[in-house]
């Protein structure tokens, strides 16, 4: 499994209401170190957003509806997703290159006449 792709699926499932906030936390917390390796990837930015959201909800500064809206906004802003260029797999200790992945549909910016 690729944690960088899985976090996108986990966040989408949370927004859709198919998994709970506890499920997201249970999945993410043991993997936070993975996302610190490349803090500029979209997956790492999403991990940071989720962590901040957990804290805001725990402090009663946000509710789950607001949190889901925030994650949805993140997906709208990131219609193309930059994954880490190199991912180390602990089991094989090998490097796999990953290119940019498109998530969602692109808006048309040009209309032919």
CA-closest candidate to residue 96, choices 83, 106, 107: 83
- Sequence-distant contacts of 99-103: CB under 8 A, at least 24 apart: 101/5, 103/8, 103/75, 103/78, 103/79
Q: What's residue 83's pLDDT?
A: 54
* pLDDT for residue 3: 82
SS3 66: helix
Of the pLDDT bands very low, low, confident and very high (cuts 50, 70, 90), residue 82 is low
Prediction pTM value: 0.69
């Amino acid at each position: 499994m690729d944690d960088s792709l899985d976090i996108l699926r986990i966040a989408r499932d949370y927004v859709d209401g198919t998994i709970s906030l506890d499920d997201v936390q249970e999945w993410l917390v043991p993997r936070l170190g993975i996302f610190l390796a490349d803090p500029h990837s979209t997956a790492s930015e999403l991990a940071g957003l989720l962590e901040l959201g957990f804290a805001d909800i725990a402090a009663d500064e946000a509710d789950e509806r607001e949190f889901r809206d925030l994650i949805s906004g993140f997906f709208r802003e990131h219609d193309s997703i930059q994954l880490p260029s190199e991912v180390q797999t602990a089991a094989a200790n090998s490097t796999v290159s990953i290119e940019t992945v498109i998530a969602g549909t692109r808006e048309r910016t040009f209309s032919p006449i």
